[in-house]
Amino acid sequence: MSAITRHSFTLRVAAGKEAEYRQRHDEIWPDLVALQQRAGVRNFTLFQRGTDVVGYFEHDASQAVISLAEFESEQLVRRWNKHMADIIESFGGKLLEVWHA
């Protein structure tokens, strides 16, 4: 069985903040990217159409130094979420994977 799992989620950016959302990700904190890697997160991708965003990432548990739960509870992640909170209107939640080839 593969240690790699796929994860996807949706969120909505506040109207008028679409460019700001992209700009903040253009300037993503290197420490946050490094923390993602420590958690075994790879291929993290965001797709945006208007105010709608779909996020996707793969989690390789065999390469993880910390768990996803530990990652999500890290102070740095909480700081990033707070940094983004003023431009994110809502989280749609996780998506169910229906098919993969």
Q: Which residues are catalytic?
A: 25
Among residues 69, 62, 74, 5, which one has the least CA distance to residue 33?
74
How far is 2 from 54, CA to CA, in rounded Å?
A: 24
DSSP 3: S
Q: Are strands 88-94 and 52-60 parallel, antiparallel or unpaired?
A: unpaired
